[in-house]
Amino acid sequence: MSASIVHRRGVKFCRYLSHRSIHTTPVKSKAVILGVYKEKDADPEFTIASTVFNEKFGGELEAKLKIAPNSFKAGGCRVLMGLDKEYDAVALVCLGKKDTSYDSLEVLDSRKENVRKAVAAGISKLQSLDVKEVEVDPCGDPEAAAEGSYLKMYSYDELKAKDKRKLPMELTCYLTDKSNASAKSSWKQGQVQAEGQNLARKLMEMPSNKLTPRIFASIAQEKLQNLGNTEIIVRDQKWAEDQNMGAFLCVSKGSQEPLVFLEVSYQGAGKEDLPVAIVGKGVTFDSGGISIKPSASMDEMRADMGGAACTLGAIYAAAKLRLPINIKGFMPLCENMPSGTAVKPGDVVTAMNGKTIQVDNTDAEGRLILADALCYAETFQPKAILDMATLTGAIDVALGAGAAAVFTNSSVLWSSLEKAGSRTGDRVWRMPLWDCYTKQITESQLADLNNISGGRSAGACTAAAFLKEFVKNEHWAHLDIAGVMKNKSEISYLNKGMAGRPTRTIIEFLRNLKI
């Protein structure tokens, strides 16, 4: 069996070849994705949905899979045309082994990840055929199936000509009389979690002239204002000055774009319940300032507000899912630009908590704006503080796109984050937060702290040690997400571009956190 796409007079056709007949059918508008478990050299096993479909057609699906069975592997997809009057295309996706579960070596729920990958392969195939409506087999895990579907379907192409944009598809969960009663609600949960990550992806991908600090704040207002139990407060430079946020203010000095300190609240629990604070780095463009970056790949620094984007995406999903938790989000937003007014190497500034900082590298600006944001977050006496930032190139060297780094003073937070990452497939890895790194940033000639250490070694660790100087909370975690900022081909259910990671892990963390 084989399938191929041909073009005739500008119309896309799919040709399905079998040992019995040849069909050449124009692609229409509706399709279904069905899951199949398949181990090497073993007969296929069908999910509940694909079993029903197979029985409906007298074993037709099973017969098709017996043709070149070894070519049907985990994460693969076969598209059958003309099989059913209701569906113009039937996409069979391979889920791999049926009995997979938690893999302790990979720190991963392999079953969930296999569902995401397989369903995404089907979405990709059907998207290339311009299918308009797709029903997706929950494959035993509707939440993961929805995540794989909506994450794969998304791409940021709204600035392209209309004929170059991917056409949207209407996705629904394929339910049968034998489907689990909770499938529909689990699908919706996965959809919202994917929407949160896709919001972060969009913000990270937007050009910096289309996403200034003020535009970021307006998008936050637009996304959250109708969800209920949310409050958005947009702070300006005068407010930051009144708060004595000298570290945040110094970074924004070189830009003509006004800074914004965005404060977002979600109340899903009682007023007496202390909030979880999430702080996100929001540098909407990072040139490096006077310590200017090399020109190569500088365009990607439009995504240096990834921490703020993931913060907003997580709070958006939490509010939409009505999670029973209170959250306070803090996003210091600004540009880091070189100009006659920009902060200079060797300048000394004073943070909100009164500590002085010698700024020896203006490209180490993220830790400066986070310092003041962390101090402000402390004033709400949260039960935990989490910060996220595309902070160091050093963590990209250490971990690449495999995992976001976690530096934490709390075993409770670490355990919750690790478990959340294993479920979402967006993993985290614990890094050391030791005194030897603190010593490297407290050895400053002119001030209490230096914003860089004396050498190149352990750059991510010394950056985390710097942030620790502005935190008193016994449950604090810093996530350095620079390595997971973008996706090349590492995650098959994400297209190439900014990744919005680890938004879904934070949502899962918030759902199950117990302190």
In whole angstroms, give the CA distance from residue 424 to residue 190.
10
Left, alpha or beta for 458 (phi > 0: left; psi -120 to 50: alpha)? left
In whole angstroms, give the CA distance from residue 506 to residue 316.
12
Q: Give yes or no for a contact between 35 and 122, defined as CB atoms under 8 angstroms apart.
A: no
What residue type is assigned to position 239 of the chain? W
| Residues whose CB is less than 8 angstroms from the CB of residue 359 and which lie 6 or more positions away in sequence, other chains included | 250, 343, 344, 345, 346, 347, 348, 349, 368, 451
In whole angstroms, give the CA distance from residue 415 to residue 377.
23
Out of 78, 320, 328, 367, the active site residue is 367
Is residue 355 part of the annotated active site? The answer reads: no
| Residues whose CB is less than 8 angstroms from the CB of residue 466 and which lie 6 or more positions away in sequence, other chains included | 367, 371, 441, 449, 451
Residue 8 phi/psi, 5-degree rounding, is: -135, 120
Q: What angle do CA 231, 235, 238 make, to 5 degrees?
A: 155
Q: Give yes or no for a contact between 188 and 175, defined as CB atoms under 8 angstroms apart.
A: no
347: β partners: 359
Is residue 12 part of the annotated active site? The answer reads: no
One DSSP character per residue, 413-456 reads HHHHHHHHHHHHS--EEE----HHHHHHHH--SSSSEESS-SSS
Q: Give yes or no for a contact between 386 and 479, defined as CB atoms under 8 angstroms apart.
A: yes
One DSSP character per residue, 84-106 reads -SS-SEEEEEEEE-TT--EETTT
| Residues whose CB is less than 8 angstroms from the CB of residue 102 and which lie 6 or more positions away in sequence, other chains included | 108, 109, 110, 422
The token pair that represents 76 in the structure block = 């693969």
In whole angstroms, give the CA distance from residue 71 to residue 422.
29
CB atoms within 10 A of CB 434: 13
The token pair that represents 66 in the structure block = 């017996």
Out of 15, 132, 293, 355, the active site residue is 293
In whole angstroms, give the CA distance from residue 495 to residue 111.
21
Annotated active-site positions, please?
A: 293, 367
